[in-house]
Chain A
Amino acid sequence: MADTMPSYIGRSVVRREDNRLLKGAGTFVGDMKLEGMVHVAIVRSQQAHARINSVDLEAARNADGVVLALAGAELKDVLPPISGMQVAAPKGWRDGMDPHIDIPDQTLVPYDKLRYVGEPYALVVAGDRYMAEDAAELIEGDFDPLPPIASAEAALDAEALVHDHLPGNIAATLHAKKGEGEAALEAAPHRLKRRYYHHRYAAMPMECRGVVAEYDSRTDSITVWSSTQVVHWVRREVANALDMPEERVRVVAPDVGGGFGGKGHVYPEDILIAYLAKRLDRPVKWLEDRHEHLLNAAHSRDNLFDIEVGYDDDGRISVVKNYFLVDSGAYSPVGAAIAGNSIAHFMGPYDIPHYEADCKVMMTNRTPNAPYRGAGRPEVAFAMERSIDLIANELGLDPAEVRFRNMIQPEQMPYAVGLPYRDGVMIEYDSGDYPEALRKALDGIGGLDEFRSRQKAALAEGRYLGLGLGCYVEGTGIGPFEGATVKIDSSGKVMVATGACPQGQGHETAFAQVAADIWNVPIEDVVVTLADTSHVTMGYGTIASRSAVTASGAIKDSSDKVKEKVFAIAANVLEASESDLELRNGSVGVKGVPEMSMTLKEVARAALPGWIHQRPEGIEAGLEGTAYYEPPTVTWAYAANAAIVEIDAQTGVVKIENYVEVHDAGTLINPGIADGQVRGGLVQGIGGGLFEELFYDEHGQLMTGSFMDYLLPTASDIPPINVIHTETPSPRNSFGFKGLGEGGAIAPPVVIANAVCDALKSFGAELNSTPVRAEQILNIIDAGVAAAE
């Protein structure tokens, strides 16, 4: 029909966000300037573990421009800690995991002891940040050093305790079981046992965190602008800490300069700045600087695995035993979520009958560990995908072949894994063709056989080429829910607000596309509001590759409510039956009768309360609907990666010649945006595989406190990357969407490690930890050459 709009979903619509961001006209928290605003500097621990005896604020209080100086003792009875459980675990998951979880609460500003380098213990409010930093330097703490617990392994046997009530420094233990692991191992013709370590690195958005808060005494309400991914969580915690109704707390995330999980939970500063604004009754701003960010914003990864795999002569894996430790640092702001992900995702796209997992979430004197792009999946992909390559080596098979032999076949879909997911529902992979993804990835690097002959020829010339593979599946679009409110007012525009909080994902554009299709209106007629608690009563936020699925679901459900009214009112006005009506290009009309229609603007006016409304009996005034979409369970995105590397035998430097990821996230809303998400993730994964490391010494001192030492990948470090998108719709939502924000970041570390080992196979190379260092590679070559001589 002529009036039917082309679908926006599936088109690379130009992003609405671009214009303002390109012109420098975005508004980030740091850009905000309010009348009378004062600035905070936070004084942070330089010791990994110490008893606080006293903190002397006198000199700071007398310094120029200082409004207030506080230490933990003054706040002890004023502000409650943040609950250790920012995310509640559902019963179904608890039943399946047999967890013991005792995540410690986090005191906003500790008064008794310091647990990591970078932990706040005092703060200064002053006229500007310069003066605040001057005064902060004058604050003297009297501390007794305590023995630092510098790693998860050390924490197990340490006498010292990070938290006195957690014996053994264990914050959580989780167990999961499918089949009979022990018996299967006994029965397995071959067993492979290895230790793997996935090192600590972090989200590292280009914008550090920041908070501005303003209190309005007239209404006893507060507005908090935070560079966060979860405005509704921040509202909950601020309201709780300040004992205010949530209605009186508005939290807004304006333009946010990247998050990747690192801004995905409530931090002490979110609450502290709100508290200070209320206490001082003037606007307060705190901007995290890069040094603070490196010390204090959540770190991630840092898992140690002891793995045992049973397999047969054909390389078929019958069993995996997965014992691992998570170095969670001094707190664990998102509970045992990362560990839960690690347990659930270990077997990836493979059909493995027996599995046992046993995990301990350890408290150490390191910066708290929270989810970062991948959140538990890169770690287990490393362990699983390295194991497959090692099995292939043992059996003299190609690693690709071992993967094909173990993969779940498309006809096995949906595939029941036999473990509960974090949402409490038993895992069932919903759709996909995993072997086909791997075939496409191998085609993408020019074909497996072609590569093997090229590799052989190169080796004859003394050049070391290697192929690395890595496959994963990823539960995306997790609940518990997302909220959306859809309104149509007398302007006729469709106004959509959701709890999603973008940090660069292009949500304003993507959700406009979704809403435009739902309403059959031109995209220009959709107004999208995000990341503002005043527009959506209950929301959840943008973490865990969830917004495309959950916010779209909420937009659809709330739209459906409004549509019912739109049709009822239009039917009344047009004197037609509701079942004969359709939405067409911004109007509601009678099917097959082009001249019988009214615009949404006219419907909105007819829906107004008052004397001249045209609503039928029983239809309430206004076109507005709110819905909370609670997904039935997650959707399963998946990918296969293949990369070719060449090793410089003189320096050990790894050059990635070509990197291919075949990625399937179901139906794509905006392929251009989706491609950017996957690419961005891949480059973060390459960073983690080769450059980025949060390195601690044995005293628990972070040695990488600047960008001189924490090395992010740059434009010249990136290989040619080919992302091939396939679209297998998810049957779990009406759009066929799966999530994709995190996927790219999962595989590169293991793909690189596998590729390097493949290149140096003749030396028996085994790289079972990250990052992959040139120096380490050179040592392998040296040892290999020495052994050969």
Chain B
Amino acid sequence: MKPPLLDILTPSSLAEALSLLSEHGDEARPLAGGQSLVPLLNFRMSRPAILIDLNQIADLAYIKDAGDYIAIGAMTRERSIEDSDLVRKEAPLLQEATTQIAHLPIRNRGTIGGSLANADPAAEYPAVVLALECELVVQSVRGERRIKAAAFFEDVLTTALEPDELLTEIIVPKAPSGSSSAFVEIARRHGDFALAGIAAQITFANSAPTDVRLAVCGAGTTASRLTAAEEIIQRDGVGPEAIKAASEAAASAVDPMSDLHASADYRRRLTGVMIGQAVEKAAQRAGVIS
């Protein structure tokens, strides 16, 4: 289990990285934290001739308060997000989800950009950026574009990124006042990829939900929003009946895959259970239910 023959190029600026990516195209892969890519290389299941190592680009690692939103550089380590007071205060869903990613030594190295660009359907971050309606800033030598999270994840491990494009920044809208959130997931062991995980952010006004965001991971080819469940909560509130109905709606909305760890049916079932737990937790945190 050793990586195949490859070269590693180490740009020190974004411009240099983009130009290398443009030059080498399909035969190169950007190397972010490497916590998903390097295992694949070690199994020789991925064989890029060139890795463009982004770890020396200091300009890509930051968490900035930009008024209505937080801007997070793509190479920001998950540990930094977990420890950020700004994130804890203004995007608590992102902070809570981060603590559930794998284990601390993985989060020490893994990056938000790497996780999103990898688009593992069971990873936490895609569900979070969908729920928070983040924008993903993407750059190439051709210029910059912004992709809405909803348009970013296309299929298993497949995103809207072109081969010469790099995800450079995640724009995370601050949680509105009156909002409350919860990230819950179930895995076979702590730290494993979720069998089903829910990112929930609910805004309440006078104890009634005014904006409901529910996104699921682990239960389909990509993370996705659960709009039917959102509508039920928004319409019927967070009482037990509404939560039950939302759970059922979520369970029937997802189209999970079966694997060794769980059948599609079980994942569907768990999606419903997690919806219930996430909505309850968010409502409890908002003080709407006890």
**Contact between A and B in the complex (any CB pair below 8 Å):** yes
Q: Are B189 and A651 in contact (CB under 8 A)?
A: no
CA distance A533 to B3 in the complex (A): 37
Please tell me which one of the listed residues A650, A716, A778 contacts residue B189 in the complex, with CB atoms under 8 A apart: A716
Q: Are B188 and A691 in contact (CB under 8 A)?
A: yes
Q: Are A717 and B44 in contact (CB under 8 A)?
A: no
Kindly provide the distance from the CB of B83 to the nearest chain A CB, expressed in whole angstroms: 21
Q: Are A134 and B4 in contact (CB under 8 A)?
A: yes
User: Which residues on the A side are within 8 Å of B188 (C-beta)?
Assistant: 691, 711
Asked whether any CB of chain B lies closer than 8 Å to the CB of A54, the reply is no
CA distance A650 to B190 in the complex (A): 18
User: Which residues on the A side are within 8 Å of B190 (C-beta)?
Assistant: 714, 716-717
- Which one, A339-347, A702-710, A723-731, is touching chain B? A702-710
Closest A residue to B266 by beta carbon equals A775
User: Which residues on the B side are within 8 Å of A134 (C-beta)?
Assistant: 4-5
With A706-B43, A778-B269: A291-B189 Cβ-Cβ less than 8 Å = no
With A711-B188, A778-B266: A703-B260 Cβ-Cβ less than 8 Å = yes
Asked whether any CB of chain B lies closer than 8 Å to the CB of A616, the reply is no
Kindly provide the distance from the CB of B193 to the nearest chain A CB, expressed in whole angstroms: 8
Asked whether any CB of chain A lies closer than 8 Å to the CB of B273, the reply is yes
Kindly provide the distance from the CB of B11 to the nearest chain A CB, expressed in whole angstroms: 25
Binding site secondary structure of chain A: loop
Asked whether any CB of chain A lies closer than 8 Å to the CB of B192, the reply is yes
Kindly provide the distance from the CB of B115 to the nearest chain A CB, expressed in whole angstroms: 16
CA distance A633 to B116 in the complex (A): 62
CA distance A651 to B261 in the complex (A): 14
Q: Which residues of chain A from 206 to 249 have any CB-CB distance to chain B below 8 Å in the complex?
A: none
Q: Are A291 and B1 in contact (CB under 8 A)?
A: yes
Q: Are B189 and A714 in contact (CB under 8 A)?
A: yes
Binding site secondary structure of chain B: loop
Q: Are B191 and A714 in contact (CB under 8 A)?
A: yes
Asked whether any CB of chain B lies closer than 8 Å to the CB of A679, the reply is no
CA distance A289 to B2 in the complex (A): 9
User: Which residues on the A side are within 8 Å of B21 (C-beta)?
Assistant: none
User: 1/0 per residue A113-156: CB within 8 Å of B?
Assistant: 00000000000000001100110010000000000000000000
Closest B residue to A128 by beta carbon equals B2
Q: Are B266 and A291 in contact (CB under 8 A)?
A: no
Chain A interface size band reads: 20 to 34
User: Which residues on the A side are within 8 Å of B43 (C-beta)?
Assistant: 291, 706
CA distance A709 to B262 in the complex (A): 11
Q: Are B2 and A130 in contact (CB under 8 A)?
A: yes
Kindly provide the distance from the CB of B50 to the nearest chain A CB, expressed in whole angstroms: 17
User: 1/0 per residue B191-204: CB within 8 Å of A?
Assistant: 11000000000000
Q: Are A289 and B1 in contact (CB under 8 A)?
A: yes
Closest B residue to A650 by beta carbon equals B273
Q: Are A695 and B260 in contact (CB under 8 A)?
A: yes
User: Which residues on the B side are within 8 Å of A653 (C-beta)?
Assistant: 186
User: Which residues on the B side are within 8 Å of A650 (C-beta)?
Assistant: 273, 276
User: 1/0 per residue A302-326: CB within 8 Å of B?
Assistant: 0000000000000000000000000
Asked whether any CB of chain B lies closer than 8 Å to the CB of A290, the reply is yes
Q: Are A651 and B270 in contact (CB under 8 A)?
A: yes
User: Which residues on the A side are within 8 Å of B261 (C-beta)?
Assistant: 709
User: Which residues on the B side are within 8 Å of A130 (C-beta)?
Assistant: 2-3, 5
Q: Are A133 and B2 in contact (CB under 8 A)?
A: yes
CA distance A708 to B187 in the complex (A): 12
Asked whether any CB of chain B lies closer than 8 Å to the CB of A713, the reply is yes
Kindly provide the distance from the CB of A209 to the nearest chain B CB, expressed in whole angstroms: 14
With A291-B43, A775-B266: A651-B186 Cβ-Cβ less than 8 Å = yes
Closest B residue to A775 by beta carbon equals B266
Kindly provide the distance from the CB of A647 to the nearest chain B CB, expressed in whole angstroms: 14
User: Which residues on the A side are within 8 Å of B269 (C-beta)?
Assistant: 778
User: 1/0 per residue A279-296: CB within 8 Å of B?
Assistant: 000000000011100000
Asked whether any CB of chain A lies closer than 8 Å to the CB of B263, the reply is yes
Kindly provide the distance from the CB of A697 to the nearest chain B CB, expressed in whole angstroms: 10
Kindly provide the distance from the CB of B35 to the nearest chain A CB, expressed in whole angstroms: 12
User: Which residues on the B side are within 8 Å of A695 (C-beta)?
Assistant: 260
Q: Are A711 and B262 in contact (CB under 8 A)?
A: no
User: 1/0 per residue B9-38: CB within 8 Å of A?
Assistant: 000000000000000000000000000000
CA distance A252 to B8 in the complex (A): 40
Q: Show 17 residue pairs from A and B whose CB-CB distance is below 8 angstroms, ordered by the A residue.
A: A129-B2, A130-B3, A133-B1, A133-B2, A289-B1, A290-B1, A651-B186, A651-B273, A704-B260, A706-B43, A708-B39, A711-B189, A716-B190, A774-B266, A775-B262, A775-B266, A778-B266
Listed from nearest, the 8 A-B pairs whose CB atoms lie closest are A289-B1, A775-B266, A130-B2, A716-B190, A650-B273, A133-B2, A714-B189, A717-B189
